[in-house]
Structure 1
Amino acid sequence: MASHISSIADFILTPDIPHGPRDRAALLLIDTLGVAAGATHLDPSRIARQHAARFHGAADADSAPMLFDGRRVSIAGSAYAAATQIDNLDAHDGFNPVKGHIGCAVVPALLAFADARPDLTAGQALDILAMSYEISARAGLALHATVSDYHTSGAWNALGVAAIGCTLRTADAGCLREALGIAEYHGPRSQMMREIQTPTMLHDGSGMGALTGSMAALLALDGFSGAPAITIEGSEARPFWEDLGTHWTIMENYIKPYPVCRWAHAPLDGLRALMRDHGLGPQDIDRVSVRTFAEGAALFQGLPDTTGQAQYSMHFALSVLMRYGEVGPDHISGAGLQDPDVASLMPRISVAEDPAHNARFPQRRTAEVNVTLQDGTQLASGVVDARGGPDTWLPETEYQEKFMQFCAPVTGDERAGDIWNMRSRMVAEPDMPFSMLADLVTAPVPPRD
């Protein structure tokens, strides 16, 4: 095996992660699980779990419980259902340079494969999770740099999932190489802008990325071949792997404060700041105009009928913020989609593309917001960067508040608090069993009223 591939295999199969990236993995893990909890009762989540229960049966040794459900299905089915669940409540972490998401696929895969490893410690689990973020990020960078289409995250986070499966199933380097090739070949190279223009339950392809990556590892362990993965072994891809283990992309992932597309976050932050700083309510505002990058300006503009449309609608999200001062899970689902107060505000909003913001994308997601008050006063936000990224990190309390806002209504306050506290416990007690967290997040939740 070439030294280039051998060093990547060593990084994957024997992960040894520094304290900073390991600590960040703990935060990303718990934040993602909070989103999974919050998404439990959404229609896409229910459908995905029921599909897995019907069609993804497996023997006990090859099964795993579904998150916040408890029913046992195949490892691949469990990973698929949870990734689809998380992907359909658009509040999970992401990595700007790949214009996509990692945690929504690799966190479900970690829980699914770890079920058969009661010996796995919290520290080991965090190392494996951090490793999978690095593999996924570089696979995504390589794919974006070598193909013309803008593909969904499942096209490349499948490789991070395969890496988790091979590590937890103690594959050797040769088997791992085949698994990465299978995951890349079958990864869903779906076109992201199609979903932006016509939002559905497909979202960012991460459900299929988790399914494909899990199957890839298990197929390779059975002797199925698929190497090479050209996003790792191709000559054009090689530069993206040269700093593996020295540059930690996991530290550059963002955490979303709002459960909508990241492209709408800078406008939301700009309007939020103007309303806060000037004590504004919806009755004070005549018009809101936004200038941003082309992809953000292309977000769905109509009144949404579904949660998927609501999460890809800047106009709707800004109207929710204008009316309520926040955007939470209840605003983009159920009765929130038929809120007449929100609908009445949408005509006040206009969005336009600006070349200056195009030039910053995808490394930065910026916008400018201008508000015209009822008395004609003009207020301007200036250039706003979306909060929650490496340069605009949120206060610690805001991450906890977000987690509880998403998780507690589904699990109850006590259980949500226990899950949140696992973040610090896993870091402080790396030898504790990872199953202590797994048990908390795989047990069923009460039915929705």
Structure 2
Amino acid sequence: MTHTFEKVADFTFGLQPDHLQTSTRQAAARMLLDTLGIVIGSKEMEAGRIARETAVALYSTGDPALSARLPLDGRRVSLAGAAYATATQTDNLDGHDGYNPTKGHIGVVVIPALLALAETLPDFSGPEALTAVTIGYEIAGRAGISLHDTVNDYHTSGAWNALGVVAMAARLRKMSADQLRQAMGIAEYHGPRSQMMREIANPTMLHDGSGWGAMVGLSSAILAEKGFTGAPAITIEEERVSRHWDDLGQFWQMEHQYVKPYPVCRWAHAAIDAARALVLEHSFTHRDIERVQINTFHESACLFQDMPDNTSKAQYSLPFAVATMFAYGRIGVEHITGKGLSDPLIASILERITTAEADRHNARFPQSRFADVIVTLHDGRVLVSGDVHARGGPEAPMSDQEVSTKFMEFASPVVGEKRAGLIHDAALGLVNPDSNFSDLSRLLYDIQ
């Protein structure tokens, strides 16, 4: 057993709620709330429906002790099936949090895993729930950085966030250190090392592979509980990645996640925010625009350029997202689904937008997400945004009120404003020492 794994095991099993600073606990509650908004908001989307039906068809369980209800649905499937369906559903709305150094997403598996695991355990405290969430984020984030540092291909989040799921399961199910090690090895070996840029070039419901990351993580934990073995996880135990684990328990990645203001690929957000800032500063409308030039980093410039004909393409399209911001001043579920995909107004604006790659923006990726937008108006004015960083992260944070407003915007149409308000308060209330996780979870299943 390597020193790095021992450190990971000590952190997983030894971290106590009162070890966390107030700011870390609050960040965990904030990310929980934000992710729940996307879990709820994505319920009626086609990808979520398919994932739930597939979980019922293929991933049911013969062991009631390892079954879990599907959130907002109520049907019981296996522990892993519930996490798979909920993570896939969430991934396909693409409004969940992320972490710049990992070039990917953690909460999309951590929150579905927490919901599923809670279905198999006696009730636990709110602070313990937030501690488990924090463990998931800290382990997954470092596994992601380690993977990106040691392989050439850009792999999806499911390739590494499964390890955070394993850590949460080991903590909450009181597994042994050896079982944790075996489960980490199983999860890393079977994790979906799918190539992210393939999905960018051909947008589909695959998204960031996180549904399979959640399923692999929980499946691996149960396999290890039953005695299955796995080779040590190299993203933890290989010597060349050990430096990425040195600050575990000292630097809290939990506090450095970004919140997405818009349910589209994060790579488009800097340009969206640049366009938004220009409109707010100069008070023009889409009718005034003659042409728009977007300068961004390579990965962002690779996003889909045409008018999308499905939700996945809409979420991975840079000009479509910017055109939507110019047209409506916001981007909601209605813009990336249904009639929003054939909106003639957005199509007319998109025709006036061109995209180019800029070296200075490339140099700052992935630690930062910068873009700039130049708008030429019919009256001859040229409006220049300057370099703008995507909102929502430590570089340009959203306020707590903005995060709450986002949650209500996504959750209220599905569960109603009153129910959404109760979920909102219960999620943030988990920081209270006398809270229980059931204060929140009881609100997430029966929505009648």
Q: TM-score, normalised by structure 2?
A: 0.98
Deviation, 1:424, is 2.9
Is the Cα contact below 8 Å between 2:427 and 2:440 reproduced in 1?
no
**1: CA distance between counterparts of 2:106 and 2:53?**
24
Deviation, 1:368, is 0.7
The AA in structure 2 aligned to 1:44 is A
- The 3-state SS of whatever aligns with 1:287 is strand
Are 1:15 and 2:42 matched, yes or no? Answer: no
2:350 alignment partner, one of 346, 349, 353: 346
1:335 alignment partner, one of 321, 339, 355: 339
Is the Cα contact below 8 Å between 2:33 and 2:428 reproduced in 1?
no
2:149 alignment partner, one of 120, 145, 148: 145
Q: Which residue does the alignment assign to 1:414? A: 418
**1: CA distance between counterparts of 2:210 and 2:79?**
15
Are 1:267 and 2:279 matched, yes or no? Answer: no
Structure 1 residues without counterparts, runs of 5 or longer: none
- The 3-state SS of whatever aligns with 1:387 is coil
Is the Cα contact below 8 Å between 1:292 and 1:354 reproduced in 2?
yes
Are 1:394 and 2:398 matched, yes or no? Answer: yes
Q: Which residue does the alignment assign to 2:196? A: 192
**2: CA distance between counterparts of 1:33 and 1:187?**
24
Q: What are the superposed Cα offsets for residues 103-158 of structure 1, whole Å, 9 maximum, x if unpaired?
A: 00111001101112233111101001001100000000000000010000000000
Is the Cα contact below 8 Å between 1:288 and 1:350 reproduced in 2?
yes
**2: CA distance between counterparts of 1:155 and 1:350?**
33
2:409 alignment partner, one of 400, 405, 412: 405
Q: For the aligned residues, what is the CA RMSD? A: 1.0
- The 3-state SS of whatever aligns with 1:320 is helix
**2: CA distance between counterparts of 1:122 and 1:74?**
24
Is the Cα contact below 8 Å between 2:286 and 2:326 reproduced in 1?
yes
Which aligned runs of 4 or more in structure 1 are off by greater than 3 angstroms?
none
**1: CA distance between counterparts of 2:428 and 2:418?**
16
Q: Please show how residues 354-433 of structure 1 align to structure 2 within 5 Å.
A: 354-427=358-431, 429-433=432-436
Deviation, 1:198, is 0.4
- The 3-state SS of whatever aligns with 2:228 is coil
The AA in structure 1 aligned to 2:4 is H
The AA in structure 1 aligned to 2:28 is A
Is the Cα contact below 8 Å between 1:179 and 1:227 reproduced in 2?
no
**2: CA distance between counterparts of 1:210 and 1:268?**
30
Is the Cα contact below 8 Å between 1:24 and 1:251 reproduced in 2?
yes
**1: CA distance between counterparts of 2:428 and 2:104?**
27
Structure 2 residues without counterparts, runs of 5 or longer: none
Aligned length: 444
Q: What are the superposed Cα offsets for residues 320-365 of structure 1, whole Å, 9 maximum, x if unpaired?
A: 1111111111111111111111111111101100000000000000
Is the Cα contact below 8 Å between 2:261 and 2:392 reproduced in 1?
yes
Q: Which residue does the alignment assign to 2:328? A: 324
2:116 alignment partner, one of 105, 112, 118: 112
Q: Which residue does the alignment assign to 1:50? A: 53
Q: Please show how residues 293-332 of structure 1 align to structure 2 within 5 Å.
A: 293-332=297-336
Q: Which residue does the alignment assign to 2:215? A: 211
Q: What are the superposed Cα offsets for residues 237-264 of structure 1, whole Å, 9 maximum, x if unpaired?
A: 1111111000111111100001100010
Q: Which residue does the alignment assign to 2:235? A: 231
2:167 alignment partner, one of 139, 144, 163: 163
Q: Which residue does the alignment assign to 1:124? A: 128
**1: CA distance between counterparts of 2:71 and 2:267?**
28
Is the Cα contact below 8 Å between 2:90 and 2:108 reproduced in 1?
yes
**1: CA distance between counterparts of 2:100 and 2:147?**
14
